[in-house]
Amino acid sequence: MTDTLARRRGIALVAHDARKDDLCSWAAANRAALSRHRLLATGTTGRVLGERAGLRVERLHSGPLGGDQQIGARIVEGVVDVLIFFFDPLGAHPHSADVQALQRLAALRDIPSAYNAATAQFLIESPLLHADIPCRTVSAV
Ligand SMILES: O=C(CO)COP(=O)(O)O
């Protein structure tokens, strides 16, 4: 299938502060592939992706202010096909309950999810992203 026929997916991008450099580097390296999709992100992540990777991103609220929950709601609404969440495995966060809830919904709804660049690369290169079939196998929970 050619790129022009590639299906447009909803890709949610989130990074904790300690991982924003990693996410921006990964996103900049994959800018062409990412820009074919509908991107949404928590507030600060969306801003830095725009500034540093040149991507057009729908920005929700900042994570600690409810952005993770907004991404979770978008998952439930069915507009997120892929979650890329570079969380900080070494730090404590005041909104860790929201982070857990987002990860739980992603698991519940069978959303392909990446928590690091290695897995994100698998997802962005997956033929599933470009095929006219659902990314997930669970259609209704
Ligand atoms: O805290 C976050 C995810 O839990 C990310 O939020 P920001 O993108 O606003 O920094």
Which tens digit of pLDDT belongs to each residue from 90-128?
999 999 999 999 999 999 999 999 999 999 999 999 988
Residue 1 located in a structural domain: no
Domain that holds residue 86: 7-129
Is 16 part of any domain? Answer: yes
Closest Cα to atom 6 of ligand 1? 63
Pair 70, 60: CB distance under 8 Å: yes
Residues near ligand 1 (Cβ within 6 A): 14, 16, 42-45, 62-64, 67-68, 95, 99
pTM greater than 0.80: yes
Structural domains counted in the chain: 1
pLDDT at 139: 61
Q: What is the CATH number of the domain that holds 20?
A: 3.40.50.1380
Catalytic site positions: 68
pLDDT digits (tens, 9 = 90+) for 50-106: 999 999 999 999 999 999 999 999 999 999 999 999 999 999 999 999 999 999 999
